[in-house]
Structure 1
């Protein structure tokens, strides 16, 4: 019997109303346009893609910091996509978020112990002494010292601030952590420390991660499965080894070709995509990637490809893997 996913997203959609110019007509920016995926308990599922593809919006929809226009977000068996703030409040402790910018996500007027203990104040009935004690323990857990608890956020480096953000997310023992570009603002040496910390905490606390990043080398280090997004849609999903060994979608192939190789003697063929990312306000017809795709066919310009499973656990949205269409090409 197949295990029920901790998180399941079905046909999730989110649009924002935008205006161009002072007298411009209102238009809909389709940030997330019908994506579906599932995350099993204890798994790390990563979303990757270029800036503006809808990764961060997806993370905020999953945690209900944003309300979806359509689709379902099923968390622990509950469809929470239509929940209001009061209904979501008891679930907040089960899903926490680590934000991209550790400088902006921590209140500069609060001491570190107050920052880490703030979720406990909302979701538990602990006394101030109990909260402070747990905050100090969590700081030790993420590699800081308990005497740091009396300091303010501006007294720490970027890596240390991100550790504080992780400690705060851990304070209420969540089941799911959405990590939105958690290492992109950090130096490379600090990135590896934070990634190793996230993996250690996952093993210790049985955490499930939705990891959002544009950096494929970072994603390779931490992921179990990976979903590739382009212009609000998922174009390919597979386990890590399959995706890196046998990428199917031309966009995924181009992204992977850009990952630097540490060996200077090893030559790697780069796939250079032509053109800029189209506007999500006015996306291309048919396959959204056809304007930049080196394998574009006439059918790609007219017909939207079906997101289908082409081998067990490997889904892709591309006409190249549609047998019926390829018979007529």
Structure 2
């Protein structure tokens, strides 16, 4: 197997939160000791409930956020402590597709200029050469060349997301971090965009970090899946292994909630008790112990490490 394109080791990120000028500082534990690897031309998906730290992890990988601890190694180079100026040449190799197709495009700029913007920064192409690349990319993502002269408000949500994908592709990146790229779209449009991402991956040999809360969406595109809970990675495995043999109680609960397109088949739902704990005051021991049906006294005091239980299948639970 080829060397990993992305290696994430023990990433930690906290944010300062306080109610007022005189209030004591409180810390939001967004990401805690997250580790995973992504190989070239592979799609690694991060899934979990809203607020579990998925998007923060994506921004740490692309160094849009600076980690408090841990390492980010990209294409063999440790970029954890790179400055803004040091990161600038690398930006052409790592691009993002954002969740909101309505907010990620500047409404005052024409599509041609939006898609060409990375080319202006990272290449020496002339205006005519940039225009040619923009036209080619618009056709690649399923739009027409005449769309280049329009503004974002003239497009539907699905079309805007295609424009965002074209912009990310313009500099031929090695890695694309797709942060909930289809969650704001209708179901029929979701399938179109996911199929487009798969086609582009094969055509341009792309590597994806795909972030989603929807396991049915992830099943369509991922090669490997990491399940996050309250800032921690609780299970990681190849897609087929995770869906056929989930081991962590949280993963089992998530999979039991995935709809089945067969009205005659009923799935045994696992209903988690209690509310999601606050990331400001995370539970002691295992993060999941407050909602786990198999909780023991040991779970309340000991933090389980992510360990390999079979080939490429990691789980953070001592009773698996």
User: TM-score under structure 1 normalisation?
Assistant: 0.96
Q: Which whole-Å deviations, capped at 9, do the CAs of 1:177-210 have from their partners, x for residues lacking one?
A: 0000000000000000000000000000000000
CA distance in 1 between counterparts of 2:23 and 2:184 reads: 35
TM-superposed deviation, 1:165? 0.1
Instruction: Name the SS for the 1:211 alignment partner.
Output: strand
Post-superposition Cα deviations, 1:255-286, rounded to whole Å, max 9, x if no partner, equal 00000011000011000011111011110001
Q: Distance in 1 between matches of 2:79 and 2:311?
A: 29
Give the structure 2 partner of residue 244 of structure 1. Answer: 243
Distance 1:134 1:20 in 2: 48
Residue number in structure 2 paired with 1:55 = 54
**How big is the shift at 1:20?**
3.3
Distance, in Å, in 1 between the alignment partners of 2:86 and 2:302 is: 40
Q: CA deviation at 1:21?
A: 4.7
Residue aligning to 1:175: 174
1: CA distance between counterparts of 2:20 and 2:151? 42
Counterpart in the other structure of 1:38: 37
Moved over 3 A (4+): 20-23
Aligned partners of 1:118, 1:132: CA distance in 2, in Å? Answer: 11
* Aligned-residue RMSD, C-alpha: 0.7
Give the C-alpha shift of residue 22 in structure 1: 5.2
**In 2: Cα distance, 1:3 partner to 1:148 partner:** 39
Equivalence for 1:104: 103
User: 1:211 maps to which residue?
Assistant: 210
Q: Output the CA distance in 2 between the equivalents of 1:267 and 1:58.
A: 35
Distance 2:30 2:214 in 1: 20
Between the aligned partners of 2:304 and 2:20, the Cα distance in structure 1 is 34
Structure 2 residue runs without a partner (length 5+): none
Tell me, yes or no, if structure 1 residue 223 matches structure 2 residue 222.
Answer: yes
Secondary structure in 1 matching 2:319: helix
Instruction: Tell me how far 1:23 sits from its aligned partner.
Output: 3.2
Match in the other structure for 2:27:
28
Aligned equivalents of 2:267, 2:35: Cα separation in 1: 33
**Unmatched tracts of structure 1, length 5 or more:** 322-329
Mapping 1:1-329, distance limit 5 Å: 2-21=1-20, 23-321=22-320
Paired with 2:232 and 2:304, the residues of 1 have a C-alpha distance of 11
Q: Distance in 2 between matches of 1:212 and 1:59?
A: 8
Matches of 2:139 and 2:145 in 1, distance apart? 6
Distance 2:176 2:303 in 1: 33
**Offset from partner CA, 1:95-152 (integer Å, 9 cap, x none):** 0000000100001111001000000000001111111111011000000000000000
Q: Quote the Cα distance in structure 2 between the aligned partners of 1:302 and 1:6.
A: 36
Distance 2:164 2:149 in 1: 16
- Distance in 2 between the 1:189 and 1:23 partners? 50
Q: Distance in 2 between matches of 1:116 and 1:232?
A: 33
Secondary structure, in 3 states, of the residue corresponding to 2:32? strand
User: What is the DSSP-based 3-state SS (H/G/I as helix, E as strand, rest coil) of the residue aligned with 2:228?
Assistant: strand
Query: TM-score scaled by structure 2?
Result: 0.99
Offset of 1:30 from its aligned partner? 1.0
Q: Partners of 1:19 and 1:319 in 2: how far apart?
A: 36
